[in-house]
A and B are shown apart, each in its own frame.
Chain A
């Protein structure tokens, strides 16, 4: 990258031919691409190392110096981990609770954001202030009273107990409201002329225009809920009710020094969201971008 500096001469030359960015001196571009490529490799290295360890026979993982490419690749560690069955149960638990959180969050946040964006009602300003103020409160500071509330409601070790407190995300109300505010009202007015009620207008006019932001909020809720550790960790005590991260964090400790198995479980734990990420990469990137530029 350092060698891109002395590019002023060619840039000046390119002045007559329009944009000069394509005319970067080759040595600078080469250095830039080398740095970029090495940085990306460095970022992928931990994942690659986890995978390399996971396909080794258990005995080979403790050899020093460690090797990147085992001569006896095996999926034994994966079979051992999957054979215990609990990781499958945890994945199911994670899927159910994450789906609950995502669907409920989208519904309540969209409704609230639309209410604040389009309607005036008594107490609206201070209600909005109350909810936005909640962004400042770190949810972790409420774990003790939240846990006691859950025991009182009898929701410890249930899907609802894991999911419900995670639905409260004031920041999404804020982001969605800003998005709705920017949608011109003409479309809605037309629908209202045709006699559509407010819910109908929201559903058939506003939401179709809001797909990118809904995808972004949905995906980030999903990632957050899937990866959440502290709350599910507190509210589940029975191993069969644990989510994937909690199960891996608590029960895996018992696997001790079987590194191939530990890394196999890490790879299995990473896979679901890596797949989601690969499928929705574009939505995630534009989602972050949208939230950032507007925020």
Chain B
């Protein structure tokens, strides 16, 4: 197909020259043999096929073998890996941890973003300072965020326990206890990532027509009423978008947890992505890791499509 298009390079210009009918796409549509568009798509397509589609296909193949990262002979094992993955209690636990993180982080990240955006939208004179403060953590590398929060969470020397101590309260073990580790990770993640949702909310708020508020004021609506009756209803689409993006993002959590707790204590914070990593790169079992990756990929895709349908229907 590359050959085909070489003699077509000049056609769009020629099309408009001869036709002069205005809309180019109409002209092109009538000539099914035009490959110019494909030339434009080709570079991205090459990357896409090589680094996404091909690994996805090959990974599916690996999942039916006992391939090891250490090398050695590879043989076909049928559905053994899939059976092992689906019945593995550790996989169930890591899936559960991922769901717990998602269930805790999504409401926090959506509501916190909404609250901070509402504050910013009203405290206009601090606008620049507030945007800077709330969004700045978003640009930090995950390692930097992890180092800072590990230091603040440090049970014996950290800032948090020292503040609690000064208030006469007992400190927490934070990342070092099975009970509090996940919550601690969620708090740190909210601080780090909420800025993106916050900016989405802020932009949506600032695009609400001013005369709506003015009309409401004239009718005697107070500040709270204006927020409740105008701002929040006008933000519904944005809330749906943010919730969907946040759900998908939270399900993929790995890096900050891996860096802060390593999945511990006692695997209480190991997420599914880390388990895939552990099986493939630590346990060296490529086949098993690939089947787990597919189990997770299917879950993500199903969750995304389900959400899309759910929200698409509610939009109407």
Q: Which residues of A contact B (CB under 8 A)?
A: 1, 4-8, 11-12, 14-15, 18-21, 24, 28, 32-33, 35-37, 39-41, 43-44, 46-47, 49-50, 53, 61-62, 64-66, 104, 107-109, 111-112, 114-116, 118-124, 127, 130-131, 134, 136-149, 164-165, 167-168, 170, 173, 185, 188-189, 192-193, 195-198, 223, 226-227, 229-230, 234, 244-246, 248-249, 252, 259, 262-263, 265-266, 269-270, 273-274, 276-278, 281, 284-286, 288-290, 292-293, 295
A15 lies within 8 A of B23 (CB): no
Q: Which of B38, B47, B62, B213 contacts A167 (CB 8 A)?
A: B47
Q: Does B2 make an interface contact (CB < 8 A)?
A: no
Q: Does B191 make an interface contact (CB < 8 A)?
A: yes
Cα separation A35 to B116 with both chains bound (whole Å): 10
Residues from chain A with Cβ under 8 Å of B37 in the complex? 115-116, 118-121, 124
Output the least CB separation between B35 and chain A (Å).
6
Binary flags per residue of B130-152, CB closer than 8 Å to A gives 1, else 0: 11111111111111101111011
Is the contact region of chain B dominated by helix, strand, or loop, or is it mixed?
helix
A281 lies within 8 A of B132 (CB): yes
Beyond known contacts A11-B223, A144-B289: 9 more, CB 8 A cutoff: A46-B148, A50-B147, A50-B151, A138-B273, A149-B50, A164-B47, A269-B143, A277-B136, A285-B202
- With contacts A229-B255, A292-B203 taken as known, whether A21 is within 8 angstroms of B217 at the C-beta atoms is yes
Q: Which of A11, A66, A234, A285 contacts B199 (CB 8 A)?
A: A285
Cα separation A174 to B280 with both chains bound (whole Å): 32
Q: Does B218 make an interface contact (CB < 8 A)?
A: yes
Q: Which of B16, B137, B214 contacts A18 (CB 8 A)?
A: B214
- With contacts A108-B44, A111-B43, A259-B157 taken as known, whether A274 is within 8 angstroms of B16 at the C-beta atoms is no
Residues from chain B with Cβ under 8 Å of A274 in the complex? 136, 139-140
6 residue pairs of the A-B complex, CB under 8 angstroms, read A112-B41, A116-B37, A116-B41, A145-B55, A263-B147, A284-B135
Specify the chain B residue showing the minimal Cβ separation from A16: B218
Q: Which of B43, B58, B293 contacts A107 (CB 8 A)?
A: B43
**Nearest 7 A-B pairs (CB), nearest first?**
A119-B37, A115-B40, A289-B203, A112-B44, A145-B55, A40-B133, A8-B222
Cα separation A136 to B69 with both chains bound (whole Å): 27
- With contacts A149-B54, A285-B131 taken as known, whether A266 is within 8 angstroms of B137 at the C-beta atoms is no
A263 lies within 8 A of B223 (CB): no
A141 lies within 8 A of B294 (CB): yes
Residues from chain B with Cβ under 8 Å of A285 in the complex? 131, 135, 199, 202-203
Specify the chain A residue showing the minimal Cβ separation from B259: A249
Binary flags per residue of B148-160, CB closer than 8 Å to A gives 1, else 0: 1101100011010
Binary flags per residue of B41-81, CB closer than 8 Å to A gives 1, else 0: 10111011011111110110010000001000000000000
Residues from chain A with Cβ under 8 Å of B196 in the complex? 288
Q: Of B88-96, B102-110, B119-127, B175-183, which stretch is located at the interface?
A: B119-127
A138 lies within 8 A of B297 (CB): yes
Residues from chain A with Cβ under 8 Å of B221 in the complex? 8, 11
Specify the chain B residue showing the minimal Cβ separation from A37: B126
B126 lies within 8 A of A121 (CB): no
Specify the chain B residue showing the minimal Cβ separation from A265: B147
B132 lies within 8 A of A114 (CB): no
Output the least CB separation between B70 and chain A (Å).
12
Q: Which of B13, B144, B207, B259 contacts A197 (CB 8 A)?
A: B13
Specify the chain A residue showing the minimal Cβ separation from B33: A122
Residues from chain A with Cβ under 8 Å of B202 in the complex? 285, 289
Q: Which of B23, B48, B143, B252 contacts A138 (CB 8 A)?
A: B252
Chain B CB within 10 Å, residue with most, of A18, A134, A270, A295: A270
Residues from chain A with Cβ under 8 Å of B210 in the complex? 19
Specify the chain A residue showing the minimal Cβ separation from B214: A19
Residues from chain A with Cβ under 8 Å of B131 in the complex? 281, 285
B40 lies within 8 A of A143 (CB): no
Residues from chain B with Cβ under 8 Å of A277 in the complex? 135-136, 139
Residues from chain A with Cβ under 8 Å of B241 in the complex? 292, 295
- With contacts A141-B297, A192-B13 taken as known, whether A229 is within 8 angstroms of B44 at the C-beta atoms is no
Q: Does B87 make an interface contact (CB < 8 A)?
A: no
Cα separation A45 to B214 with both chains bound (whole Å): 37
B59 lies within 8 A of A140 (CB): no
Q: Does B204 make an interface contact (CB < 8 A)?
A: yes
A15 lies within 8 A of B217 (CB): yes
Cα separation A285 to B139 with both chains bound (whole Å): 12
Q: Which of B133, B141, B152, B200 contacts A273 (CB 8 A)?
A: B141
Chain A CB within 10 Å, residue with most, of B12, B55, B144, B165: B144
B293 lies within 8 A of A136 (CB): no
- With contacts A36-B130, A168-B48, A168-B52 taken as known, whether A136 is within 8 angstroms of B238 at the C-beta atoms is no
- With contacts A33-B126, A273-B141 taken as known, whether A168 is within 8 angstroms of B254 at the C-beta atoms is no
A144 lies within 8 A of B24 (CB): no
Cα separation A21 to B215 with both chains bound (whole Å): 11
A262 lies within 8 A of B48 (CB): no
